[in-house]
Amino acid sequence: MARVISLPATGILVLLFGCGLLAFVAAAWMVVLPMAVAPYLLALVNRRSELRADAHAADLGFAHPLAGVLHTMRAHEEASYAAAGPQARRTGGLAKLLSSHPDYADRLQHLQPYLDGRPPR
């Protein structure tokens, strides 16, 4: 009689333990995943906000001065990379994803319609 009861009881215990372990892993994953993705999403929101701020400044008529400042900042950045030599560290893909500001080329590209006299709508 003990053998007949022991086998199903062992199966039920293994099933319960497995379900508990699966629930724990799922709960831990739901904590780890947002923590891993949050910095990238926050950086994306910051970059989009910066582009919106540039568009707002361009709507107010500051497209040409802003473009001049961005060209100057881009030239200074390129000069600092050239002065540092070939060992200068360029930003890679991961650093770009975590950057809170878009690079100068993207900002200038988004300003181009304002500079051409045809603001996007």
Residue range 5-52, pLDDT digits in tens: 788 888 888 999 999 999 998 888 888 888 889 999 999 999 999 999
Q: How confident is the model at residue 69 (pLDDT cuts 50, 70, 90)?
A: very high
Residue at 21 is within a domain:
no
Residue at 102 is within a domain:
yes
CB atoms within 10 A of CB 89: 8
Q: How far apart are CA 59 and CA 80, in angstroms?
A: 32
Residue at 20 is within a domain:
no
Which structural domain, as residue segments, surrounds residue 84?
35-115
Residue at 76 is within a domain:
yes
DSSP 22-83: HHHHHHHHHHHHHHHHHHHHHHHHHHHHHHHHHHHHHHTT-HHHHHHHHHHHHHHHHHHHHH
Residue at 26 is within a domain:
no
User: In this predicted structure, what is the pLDDT of residue 72?
Assistant: 95
Residue at 121 is within a domain:
no
User: In this predicted structure, what is the pLDDT of residue 89?
Assistant: 59
Structure tokens at 120: 């996007």
Residue at 91 is within a domain:
yes
Judged against a pLDDT cut of 90, whether residue 77 lies above it is answered with: no
How many domains is the chain built from? 1
